[in-house]
Amino acid sequence: TPTSEIRKGLAGVVADHSAISKVNPETNSLLYRGYPVQDLAARASFEEVAYLLWHGDLPTSDQLEEQTKAERAARALPENVKAAILELPAGCHPMDVCRTAVSQLGAHDPQAEDSSPEAELAKALRLWAVMPAVVALDQRRRRGQEIVPPRDDLGYSANFLWMTFGEEAEPAVVKAFEASMVLYAEHSFNASTFTARVITSTLSDLHSAVTGAIGALKGPLHGGANEAVQETFEEIGTADKAVAWLDEALASKRKIMGFGHRVYKKGDSRVPTMRAVLGDLVEHYGETEVLDLYDTLEQAMGERKGIKPNLDYPAGPAYHLMGFDTNIFTPLFVASRITGWTAHIMEQRASNALIRPVCEYNGPDERQVP
Ligand code: CMC
Protein backbone atom coordinates (compact mmCIF):
# COMPACT_ATOMS: atom_id res chain seq x y z
CA THR A 1 0.00 0.00 0.00
CA PRO A 2 1.36 3.41 -0.98
CA THR A 3 2.27 5.75 1.86
CA SER A 4 1.28 9.40 1.54
CA GLU A 5 4.63 10.78 2.72
CA ILE A 6 6.59 12.23 -0.19
CA ARG A 7 10.36 12.34 0.14
CA LYS A 8 11.61 14.70 -2.55
CA GLY A 9 14.71 13.26 -4.19
CA LEU A 10 14.01 10.02 -2.27
CA ALA A 11 16.13 11.56 0.51
CA GLY A 12 16.54 9.10 3.33
CA VAL A 13 14.45 6.42 1.60
CA VAL A 14 15.84 2.92 2.05
CA ALA A 15 15.24 1.37 -1.36
CA ASP A 16 16.83 -2.09 -0.97
CA HIS A 17 19.58 -4.08 0.71
CA SER A 18 23.10 -4.06 -0.70
CA ALA A 19 26.23 -5.94 0.39
CA ILE A 20 28.61 -3.94 -1.80
CA SER A 21 29.45 -0.86 0.23
CA LYS A 22 28.48 0.75 3.49
CA VAL A 23 28.35 4.50 3.93
CA ASN A 24 28.23 5.64 7.53
CA PRO A 25 27.70 9.39 7.75
CA GLU A 26 27.95 9.29 11.56
CA THR A 27 31.55 8.13 11.48
CA ASN A 28 32.37 9.50 8.02
CA SER A 29 33.29 6.03 6.92
CA LEU A 30 32.95 4.14 3.67
CA LEU A 31 33.54 0.40 3.47
CA TYR A 32 33.80 -1.62 0.26
CA ARG A 33 32.68 -5.15 1.15
CA GLY A 34 33.77 -4.43 4.72
CA TYR A 35 37.15 -2.83 3.99
CA PRO A 36 37.71 0.88 4.80
CA VAL A 37 38.19 2.71 1.52
CA GLN A 38 41.19 4.66 2.80
CA ASP A 39 42.98 1.38 3.63
CA LEU A 40 42.20 0.01 0.18
CA ALA A 41 43.49 3.24 -1.40
CA ALA A 42 46.72 2.86 0.57
CA ARG A 43 47.30 -0.86 0.19
CA ALA A 44 45.29 -2.39 -2.67
CA SER A 45 45.53 -1.93 -6.41
CA PHE A 46 42.52 -0.75 -8.41
CA GLU A 47 42.49 -4.18 -10.07
CA GLU A 48 42.15 -5.84 -6.65
CA VAL A 49 39.37 -3.42 -5.71
CA ALA A 50 37.48 -4.21 -8.93
CA TYR A 51 37.72 -7.90 -8.06
CA LEU A 52 36.57 -7.20 -4.51
CA LEU A 53 33.51 -5.26 -5.66
CA TRP A 54 32.46 -7.95 -8.14
CA HIS A 55 33.24 -11.06 -6.10
CA GLY A 56 32.89 -9.92 -2.49
CA ASP A 57 36.45 -10.74 -1.41
CA LEU A 58 39.94 -9.63 -2.33
CA PRO A 59 41.55 -11.96 -4.89
CA THR A 60 44.16 -14.61 -4.22
CA SER A 61 47.25 -14.17 -6.39
CA ASP A 62 45.94 -16.78 -8.85
CA GLN A 63 42.57 -15.08 -9.10
CA LEU A 64 44.23 -11.71 -9.61
CA GLU A 65 46.50 -13.14 -12.28
CA GLU A 66 43.56 -14.59 -14.16
CA GLN A 67 41.62 -11.32 -13.99
CA THR A 68 44.71 -9.31 -15.00
CA LYS A 69 45.20 -11.50 -18.06
CA ALA A 70 41.59 -11.02 -19.13
CA GLU A 71 41.73 -7.27 -18.46
CA ARG A 72 44.92 -6.75 -20.46
CA ALA A 73 43.51 -8.80 -23.35
CA ALA A 74 40.42 -6.57 -23.51
CA ARG A 75 42.11 -3.15 -23.42
CA ALA A 76 42.04 -2.34 -27.12
CA LEU A 77 39.02 -0.57 -28.54
CA PRO A 78 37.33 -2.51 -31.37
CA GLU A 79 37.97 -0.76 -34.71
CA ASN A 80 34.28 -0.15 -35.41
CA VAL A 81 33.76 1.54 -32.04
CA LYS A 82 36.92 3.60 -32.51
CA ALA A 83 35.62 4.74 -35.91
CA ALA A 84 32.26 5.65 -34.38
CA ILE A 85 33.93 7.78 -31.71
CA LEU A 86 36.09 9.56 -34.27
CA GLU A 87 32.89 10.53 -36.11
CA LEU A 88 31.52 12.41 -33.08
CA PRO A 89 31.79 16.20 -33.16
CA ALA A 90 34.94 17.57 -31.54
CA GLY A 91 32.80 19.96 -29.53
CA CYS A 92 30.49 17.41 -27.90
CA HIS A 93 30.92 16.72 -24.21
CA PRO A 94 33.33 13.85 -23.45
CA MET A 95 30.58 12.25 -21.34
CA ASP A 96 28.55 11.98 -24.54
CA VAL A 97 31.50 10.10 -26.02
CA CYS A 98 31.58 7.69 -23.06
CA ARG A 99 27.83 7.19 -23.24
CA THR A 100 27.93 6.55 -26.98
CA ALA A 101 30.94 4.26 -26.73
CA VAL A 102 29.29 2.06 -24.10
CA SER A 103 26.12 1.90 -26.15
CA GLN A 104 28.13 0.95 -29.25
CA LEU A 105 30.14 -1.64 -27.33
CA GLY A 106 26.85 -3.17 -26.20
CA ALA A 107 25.53 -3.38 -29.74
CA HIS A 108 28.72 -5.19 -30.80
CA ASP A 109 29.03 -7.44 -27.74
CA PRO A 110 28.35 -11.08 -28.60
CA GLN A 111 27.04 -11.66 -25.07
CA ALA A 112 24.89 -8.50 -24.99
CA GLU A 113 21.64 -10.34 -24.34
CA ASP A 114 23.11 -13.05 -22.10
CA SER A 115 22.50 -12.07 -18.50
CA SER A 116 23.80 -15.23 -16.83
CA PRO A 117 26.16 -14.41 -13.94
CA GLU A 118 29.17 -15.60 -15.99
CA ALA A 119 28.27 -13.43 -18.97
CA GLU A 120 27.52 -10.40 -16.77
CA LEU A 121 30.92 -10.69 -15.12
CA ALA A 122 32.69 -11.12 -18.46
CA LYS A 123 30.92 -8.06 -19.89
CA ALA A 124 31.65 -6.00 -16.78
CA LEU A 125 35.32 -6.88 -17.04
CA ARG A 126 35.53 -6.10 -20.74
CA LEU A 127 33.81 -2.76 -20.29
CA TRP A 128 36.06 -1.82 -17.39
CA ALA A 129 39.13 -2.90 -19.38
CA VAL A 130 38.28 -0.90 -22.50
CA MET A 131 37.10 2.34 -20.88
CA PRO A 132 40.61 3.85 -20.53
CA ALA A 133 41.02 3.49 -24.30
CA VAL A 134 37.79 5.45 -24.83
CA VAL A 135 38.80 8.26 -22.48
CA ALA A 136 42.40 8.47 -23.71
CA LEU A 137 41.34 8.40 -27.36
CA ASP A 138 38.87 11.21 -26.75
CA GLN A 139 41.36 13.52 -25.05
CA ARG A 140 43.94 12.85 -27.76
CA ARG A 141 41.54 13.37 -30.68
CA ARG A 142 40.47 16.71 -29.19
CA ARG A 143 44.11 17.74 -28.89
CA GLY A 144 44.80 16.62 -32.46
CA GLN A 145 47.25 13.99 -31.20
CA GLU A 146 47.83 10.53 -32.58
CA ILE A 147 46.05 7.66 -30.88
CA VAL A 148 48.25 5.58 -28.57
CA PRO A 149 47.39 1.88 -28.39
CA PRO A 150 47.34 0.09 -25.00
CA ARG A 151 50.36 -1.76 -23.61
CA ASP A 152 49.95 -5.07 -21.89
CA ASP A 153 53.11 -4.81 -19.81
CA LEU A 154 51.69 -2.02 -17.63
CA GLY A 155 49.15 -2.07 -14.82
CA TYR A 156 45.72 -0.50 -15.26
CA SER A 157 46.65 3.02 -14.12
CA ALA A 158 50.08 3.16 -15.75
CA ASN A 159 48.56 2.02 -19.03
CA PHE A 160 45.72 4.54 -18.73
CA LEU A 161 48.25 7.38 -18.33
CA TRP A 162 50.40 5.95 -21.11
CA MET A 163 47.51 5.90 -23.58
CA THR A 164 46.42 9.41 -22.57
CA PHE A 165 49.79 11.17 -22.61
CA GLY A 166 51.89 8.95 -24.86
CA GLU A 167 54.68 8.66 -22.30
CA GLU A 168 55.27 6.59 -19.21
CA ALA A 169 54.03 8.38 -16.11
CA GLU A 170 56.28 8.71 -13.10
CA PRO A 171 55.52 6.32 -10.22
CA ALA A 172 54.24 9.16 -7.97
CA VAL A 173 51.66 10.10 -10.60
CA VAL A 174 50.60 6.51 -11.19
CA LYS A 175 50.15 6.11 -7.43
CA ALA A 176 48.00 9.25 -7.18
CA PHE A 177 45.86 8.26 -10.16
CA GLU A 178 45.42 4.75 -8.78
CA ALA A 179 44.21 6.11 -5.44
CA SER A 180 41.62 8.29 -7.20
CA MET A 181 40.35 5.25 -9.11
CA VAL A 182 39.96 3.31 -5.86
CA LEU A 183 38.17 6.20 -4.14
CA TYR A 184 35.72 6.79 -7.00
CA ALA A 185 34.90 3.11 -7.53
CA GLU A 186 31.79 2.68 -5.43
CA HIS A 187 29.39 4.67 -3.32
CA SER A 188 26.18 2.81 -2.60
CA PHE A 189 22.82 4.08 -3.97
CA ASN A 190 24.01 7.35 -5.52
CA ALA A 191 22.05 8.72 -8.50
CA SER A 192 23.98 6.97 -11.26
CA THR A 193 24.14 3.61 -9.47
CA PHE A 194 20.44 3.81 -8.72
CA THR A 195 19.82 4.60 -12.39
CA ALA A 196 21.76 1.46 -13.35
CA ARG A 197 19.68 -0.56 -10.91
CA VAL A 198 16.40 0.89 -12.20
CA ILE A 199 17.34 -0.07 -15.75
CA THR A 200 18.50 -3.53 -14.68
CA SER A 201 15.25 -4.03 -12.75
CA THR A 202 13.31 -4.06 -16.03
CA LEU A 203 15.53 -7.02 -17.08
CA SER A 204 17.30 -4.80 -19.60
CA ASP A 205 20.95 -5.53 -20.44
CA LEU A 206 24.17 -4.46 -18.70
CA HIS A 207 25.34 -2.04 -21.39
CA SER A 208 21.97 -0.24 -21.32
CA ALA A 209 22.23 0.11 -17.56
CA VAL A 210 25.77 1.54 -17.75
CA THR A 211 24.78 3.87 -20.59
CA GLY A 212 21.98 5.26 -18.44
CA ALA A 213 24.28 5.55 -15.43
CA ILE A 214 26.70 7.65 -17.49
CA GLY A 215 23.85 10.00 -18.35
CA ALA A 216 23.07 10.41 -14.64
CA LEU A 217 26.71 10.92 -13.71
CA LYS A 218 27.16 13.70 -16.25
CA GLY A 219 25.18 16.25 -14.26
CA PRO A 220 27.02 18.82 -12.13
CA LEU A 221 25.14 17.80 -8.99
CA HIS A 222 26.80 14.37 -9.32
CA GLY A 223 29.96 13.48 -11.25
CA GLY A 224 30.14 16.69 -13.24
CA ALA A 225 31.21 18.46 -10.04
CA ASN A 226 34.89 17.51 -10.40
CA GLU A 227 35.06 19.50 -13.65
CA ALA A 228 33.12 22.34 -12.08
CA VAL A 229 35.62 22.53 -9.20
CA GLN A 230 38.49 23.08 -11.61
CA GLU A 231 36.46 25.75 -13.43
CA THR A 232 35.80 27.43 -10.07
CA PHE A 233 39.52 27.40 -9.24
CA GLU A 234 40.31 28.96 -12.60
CA GLU A 235 37.57 31.56 -12.15
CA ILE A 236 38.90 32.55 -8.70
CA GLY A 237 42.56 32.56 -9.75
CA THR A 238 44.54 32.95 -6.54
CA ALA A 239 43.95 32.32 -2.83
CA ASP A 240 43.77 36.02 -1.94
CA LYS A 241 40.65 36.37 -4.10
CA ALA A 242 38.87 33.29 -2.73
CA VAL A 243 36.95 34.84 0.17
CA ALA A 244 35.56 37.77 -1.83
CA TRP A 245 34.66 35.40 -4.65
CA LEU A 246 32.85 33.08 -2.25
CA ASP A 247 30.87 35.87 -0.58
CA GLU A 248 29.69 37.11 -3.93
CA ALA A 249 28.84 33.63 -5.17
CA LEU A 250 26.87 32.81 -2.03
CA ALA A 251 25.09 36.18 -2.16
CA SER A 252 23.92 35.34 -5.67
CA LYS A 253 22.79 31.91 -4.38
CA ARG A 254 25.29 29.96 -6.42
CA LYS A 255 26.00 26.37 -5.44
CA ILE A 256 29.70 25.99 -4.72
CA MET A 257 30.80 22.93 -6.61
CA GLY A 258 32.70 20.27 -4.72
CA PHE A 259 30.94 21.08 -1.45
CA GLY A 260 28.06 19.34 0.24
CA HIS A 261 26.69 15.83 0.01
CA ARG A 262 23.31 14.19 0.26
CA VAL A 263 24.51 11.58 2.73
CA TYR A 264 27.59 12.99 4.46
CA LYS A 265 26.75 16.15 6.33
CA LYS A 266 29.86 16.21 8.52
CA GLY A 267 32.45 15.46 5.85
CA ASP A 268 33.02 13.02 3.00
CA SER A 269 35.00 9.97 4.13
CA ARG A 270 37.08 9.97 0.94
CA VAL A 271 38.29 13.55 1.17
CA PRO A 272 41.21 13.19 3.64
CA THR A 273 42.83 10.51 1.45
CA MET A 274 42.32 12.45 -1.77
CA ARG A 275 43.50 15.68 -0.11
CA ALA A 276 46.71 13.85 0.85
CA VAL A 277 47.04 12.61 -2.73
CA LEU A 278 46.65 16.18 -3.97
CA GLY A 279 49.34 17.24 -1.48
CA ASP A 280 51.71 14.60 -2.88
CA LEU A 281 51.02 15.77 -6.43
CA VAL A 282 51.60 19.40 -5.49
CA GLU A 283 54.95 18.40 -4.05
CA HIS A 284 55.76 16.29 -7.09
CA TYR A 285 55.00 19.09 -9.56
CA GLY A 286 56.20 21.88 -7.27
CA GLU A 287 52.99 23.87 -7.65
CA THR A 288 51.94 25.01 -4.22
CA GLU A 289 49.51 27.83 -5.10
CA VAL A 290 46.63 25.45 -5.67
CA LEU A 291 46.75 24.23 -2.08
CA ASP A 292 46.53 27.78 -0.74
CA LEU A 293 43.42 28.34 -2.79
CA TYR A 294 42.04 24.92 -1.83
CA ASP A 295 42.49 25.49 1.89
CA THR A 296 41.28 29.10 1.86
CA LEU A 297 38.07 28.28 0.03
CA GLU A 298 37.42 25.22 2.20
CA GLN A 299 37.90 27.21 5.37
CA ALA A 300 35.72 30.11 4.22
CA MET A 301 32.95 27.75 3.10
CA GLY A 302 33.09 26.04 6.49
CA GLU A 303 32.85 29.36 8.34
CA ARG A 304 30.01 30.73 6.23
CA LYS A 305 27.86 27.67 5.55
CA GLY A 306 29.28 24.87 7.67
CA ILE A 307 29.45 22.78 4.48
CA LYS A 308 32.36 20.41 3.92
CA PRO A 309 34.06 19.37 0.65
CA ASN A 310 33.20 16.16 -1.16
CA LEU A 311 35.56 13.90 -3.14
CA ASP A 312 35.27 16.04 -6.27
CA TYR A 313 36.89 18.98 -4.48
CA PRO A 314 40.40 17.48 -4.22
CA ALA A 315 39.95 15.26 -7.30
CA GLY A 316 39.38 18.16 -9.72
CA PRO A 317 42.68 19.96 -9.08
CA ALA A 318 44.50 16.62 -8.77
CA TYR A 319 43.46 15.58 -12.28
CA HIS A 320 44.37 19.04 -13.54
CA LEU A 321 47.89 18.70 -12.13
CA MET A 322 48.24 15.28 -13.77
CA GLY A 323 47.61 16.97 -17.11
CA PHE A 324 44.08 15.89 -17.97
CA ASP A 325 41.82 18.35 -19.77
CA THR A 326 39.04 19.54 -17.48
CA ASN A 327 36.25 18.09 -19.58
CA ILE A 328 37.83 14.63 -19.25
CA PHE A 329 37.53 14.55 -15.43
CA THR A 330 34.03 13.08 -15.32
CA PRO A 331 34.93 10.34 -17.84
CA LEU A 332 37.74 9.41 -15.41
CA PHE A 333 35.04 9.00 -12.78
CA VAL A 334 33.17 6.75 -15.26
CA ALA A 335 36.24 4.59 -15.79
CA SER A 336 36.41 3.97 -12.08
CA ARG A 337 32.71 3.76 -11.21
CA ILE A 338 32.05 1.15 -13.91
CA THR A 339 33.26 -1.33 -11.30
CA GLY A 340 30.69 -0.26 -8.71
CA TRP A 341 27.89 0.12 -11.26
CA THR A 342 28.40 -3.36 -12.66
CA ALA A 343 28.65 -4.87 -9.16
CA HIS A 344 25.25 -3.30 -8.44
CA ILE A 345 23.82 -4.47 -11.76
CA MET A 346 24.80 -8.03 -10.86
CA GLU A 347 23.43 -7.67 -7.33
CA GLN A 348 20.16 -6.22 -8.62
CA ARG A 349 19.77 -9.04 -11.12
CA ALA A 350 20.43 -11.68 -8.48
CA SER A 351 17.44 -10.61 -6.38
CA ASN A 352 15.41 -8.52 -8.76
CA ALA A 353 12.19 -6.61 -8.21
CA LEU A 354 11.00 -4.08 -10.79
CA ILE A 355 11.75 -0.59 -9.44
CA ARG A 356 8.55 1.33 -9.98
CA PRO A 357 7.51 3.83 -7.33
CA VAL A 358 4.27 5.81 -7.35
CA CYS A 359 3.55 9.53 -7.14
CA GLU A 360 0.80 11.66 -5.77
CA TYR A 361 -1.08 13.31 -8.63
CA ASN A 362 -1.43 17.08 -8.32
CA GLY A 363 -2.64 18.03 -11.82
CA PRO A 364 -6.11 19.25 -12.82
CA ASP A 365 -9.23 17.37 -11.69
CA GLU A 366 -10.99 15.20 -14.25
CA ARG A 367 -12.46 17.35 -17.04
CA GLN A 368 -14.14 16.90 -20.40
CA VAL A 369 -12.40 17.00 -23.74
CA PRO A 370 -14.11 19.95 -25.56
N1 CMC B 1 26.99 25.38 -2.18
C2 CMC B 1 26.16 26.24 -1.56
N3 CMC B 1 25.15 25.83 -0.79
C4 CMC B 1 24.98 24.52 -0.63
C5 CMC B 1 25.81 23.59 -1.23
C6 CMC B 1 26.84 24.06 -2.04
N7 CMC B 1 27.67 23.22 -2.65
N8 CMC B 1 25.41 22.35 -0.90
C9 CMC B 1 24.35 22.50 -0.11
N10 CMC B 1 24.08 23.80 0.05
C11 CMC B 1 23.01 24.39 0.86
C12 CMC B 1 21.72 24.37 0.05
O13 CMC B 1 21.59 25.55 -0.71
C14 CMC B 1 20.70 24.25 1.14
O15 CMC B 1 20.54 25.52 1.72
P16 CMC B 1 19.08 26.02 2.16
O17 CMC B 1 18.63 25.04 3.19
O18 CMC B 1 19.33 27.40 2.66
O19 CMC B 1 18.25 25.98 0.91
C20 CMC B 1 21.37 23.35 2.16
O21 CMC B 1 22.76 23.54 1.97
C22 CMC B 1 21.02 21.89 1.99
O23 CMC B 1 21.40 21.50 0.68
P24 CMC B 1 20.57 20.59 -0.29
O25 CMC B 1 20.81 21.03 -1.71
O26 CMC B 1 19.15 20.48 0.16
O27 CMC B 1 21.26 19.22 -0.03
P28 CMC B 1 21.13 17.99 -0.97
O29 CMC B 1 21.36 16.82 -0.10
O30 CMC B 1 19.90 17.99 -1.79
O31 CMC B 1 22.32 18.26 -1.99
C32 CMC B 1 24.26 18.18 -3.26
C33 CMC B 1 23.49 17.58 -2.06
C34 CMC B 1 25.52 17.37 -3.47
C35 CMC B 1 23.38 18.10 -4.51
C36 CMC B 1 24.58 19.66 -2.96
O37 CMC B 1 25.34 19.74 -1.79
C38 CMC B 1 25.27 20.34 -4.12
O39 CMC B 1 24.60 20.80 -5.05
N40 CMC B 1 26.64 20.41 -4.12
C41 CMC B 1 27.38 20.96 -5.21
C42 CMC B 1 27.56 19.92 -6.31
C43 CMC B 1 28.56 18.85 -5.94
O44 CMC B 1 29.63 19.13 -5.43
N45 CMC B 1 28.21 17.59 -6.22
C46 CMC B 1 29.06 16.45 -5.97
C47 CMC B 1 28.44 15.53 -4.98
S48 CMC B 1 29.57 14.32 -4.29
C49 CMC B 1 30.22 13.41 -5.59
C50 CMC B 1 29.21 12.67 -6.36
O51 CMC B 1 28.41 11.92 -5.80
O52 CMC B 1 29.19 12.79 -7.58
Q: What is the pLDDT of residues 89-134, one digit of tens each?
A: 989 999 999 999 999 999 999 999 999 999 999 999 999 999 999 9
Q: Are residues 211 and 268 in the same domain?
A: no
Instruction: Give the pLDDT confidence score for residue 154 in this predicted structure.
Output: 98
Instruction: Give the pLDDT confidence score for residue 286 in this predicted structure.
Output: 93
The protein residue whose alpha carbon is closest to atom 36 in ligand 1 is: 260
**Any domain includes 258:** yes
Determine the distance separating the centroid of ligand 1 and the alpha carbon of 307, expressed in angstroms. 9
Q: Which residues of 352-370 are buried (b: 16+ CB within 10 A; e: fewer)?
A: eeeeeeeeeeeeeeeeeee
**Any domain includes 20:** no
Q: Given pLDDT bands bounded at 50, 70 and 90, which one contains residue 266?
A: confident
Question: Does 225 sit in the ligand 1 pocket, CB within 6 Å?
Answer: yes
The protein residue whose alpha carbon is closest to atom 47 in ligand 1 is: 222
**Any domain includes 358:** no
CB–CB of 37/30 below 8 Å?
yes
Residues forming beta bridges with residue 21, ordered by sequence position: 32
**Any domain includes 365:** no
Q: Given pLDDT bands bounded at 50, 70 and 90, which one contains residue 262?
A: confident
CB–CB of 321/285 below 8 Å?
yes
Determine the distance separating the centroid of ligand 1 and the alpha carbon of 180, expressed in angstroms. 22
Q: Are residues 235 and 288 in the same domain?
A: yes
**Any domain includes 180:** yes
Q: Are residues 178 and 219 in the same domain?
A: yes
Q: Residue range 139-160: average pLDDT?
A: 97
Active site residue 312: yes
Q: Given pLDDT bands bounded at 50, 70 and 90, which one contains residue 143?
A: very high
Question: Does 256 sit in the ligand 1 pocket, CB within 6 Å?
Answer: yes
Question: Does 262 sit in the ligand 1 pocket, CB within 6 Å?
Answer: yes
Question: Does 223 sit in the ligand 1 pocket, CB within 6 Å?
Answer: yes
Question: Does 263 sit in the ligand 1 pocket, CB within 6 Å?
Answer: no
The backbone torsions φ and ψ at residue 100, rounded to the nearest 5 degrees and listed phi first, read -70, -40
The Cα–Cα gap between 343 and 124 comes to 8
- pLDDT at residue 4 greater than cutoff 80: no
Pocket test for ligand 1, best of 255, 268, 337 (most atoms within 8 A of CB): 255
Q: Are residues 131 and 216 in the same domain?
A: yes
Instruction: Give the pLDDT confidence score for residue 26 in this predicted structure.
Output: 87
Averaged pLDDT score across all residues of the chain:
96
Q: Are residues 95 and 35 in the same domain?
A: yes
Instruction: Give the pLDDT confidence score for residue 28 in this predicted structure.
Output: 85
Q: Are residues 72 and 217 in the same domain?
A: yes
Which DSSP state fits 364? Answer: P
Among residues 268, 312, 320, 344, which one is catalytic?
A: 312
Q: What is the pLDDT of residues 290-338, one digit of tens each?
A: 999 999 999 999 999 999 999 999 999 999 999 999 999 999 999 999 9
- pLDDT at residue 2 greater than cutoff 70: no
Q: Are residues 165 and 109 in the same domain?
A: yes
Determine the distance separating the centroid of ligand 1 and the alpha carbon of 268, expressed in angstroms. 13
**Beta carbons within 8 Å of 237's beta carbon, 6+ residues apart:** none
Q: How many CA atoms lie within 13 A of 315 on its CB side?
A: 31
Which of these, 174, 91, 87, 88, lies nearest to 132 by C-alpha position? 174
Question: Does 190 sit in the ligand 1 pocket, CB within 6 Å?
Answer: yes
Q: Are residues 88 and 215 in the same domain?
A: yes
**Any domain includes 251:** yes
Determine the distance separating the centroid of ligand 1 and the alpha carbon of 298, expressed in angstroms. 14
Q: Are residues 112 and 133 in the same domain?
A: yes
Q: Which residues of 242-281 are buried (b: 16+ CB within 10 A; e: fewer)?
A: bbebbeebeeeeeebbbbbbbbbeebbbbbebbbbbbbeb
Q: Are residues 337 and 235 in the same domain?
A: no
Among residues 187, 207, 222, 261, which one is catalytic?
A: 261
Q: Residue range 14-24: average pLDDT?
A: 96
**Any domain includes 364:** no
- pLDDT at residue 210 greater than cutoff 70: yes
Residue numbers of the domain that contains 244: 231-322
Instruction: Give the pLDDT confidence score for residue 27 in this predicted structure.
Output: 86
**Number of domains forming the structure of the chain:** 2
Q: Are residues 107 and 235 in the same domain?
A: no
How far apart, in Å, are the Cα atoms of 187 and each of 95, 228, 271, 311, 322? 20, 20, 13, 11, 24
Long-range contacts of 149-157 (CB under 8 A, 24+ apart): 149/76, 150/72, 150/75, 150/76, 152/72, 152/73, 152/75, 155/45, 155/47, 156/45, 156/46, 156/47, 156/71, 156/132, 156/181, 157/46, 157/181
Instruction: Give the pLDDT confidence score for residue 3 in this predicted structure.
Output: 62
Q: Given pLDDT bands bounded at 50, 70 and 90, which one contains residue 246?
A: very high
**Any domain includes 312:** yes
The protein residue whose alpha carbon is closest to atom 31 in ligand 1 is: 262
Residue 109: which CATH number? 1.10.580.10
Amino acid present at 94: P
Ligand 1 nearest-atom number relative to CA 305: 3
Residues forming beta bridges with residue 217, ordered by sequence position: none
Residue 265: which CATH number? 1.10.230.10
Neighbours of 134 (CB within 10 A): 25
Question: Does 255 sit in the ligand 1 pocket, CB within 6 Å?
Answer: yes
Ligand 1 nearest-atom number relative to CA 268: 48
Question: Does 307 sit in the ligand 1 pocket, CB within 6 Å?
Answer: yes
Q: Are residues 34 and 82 in the same domain?
A: yes
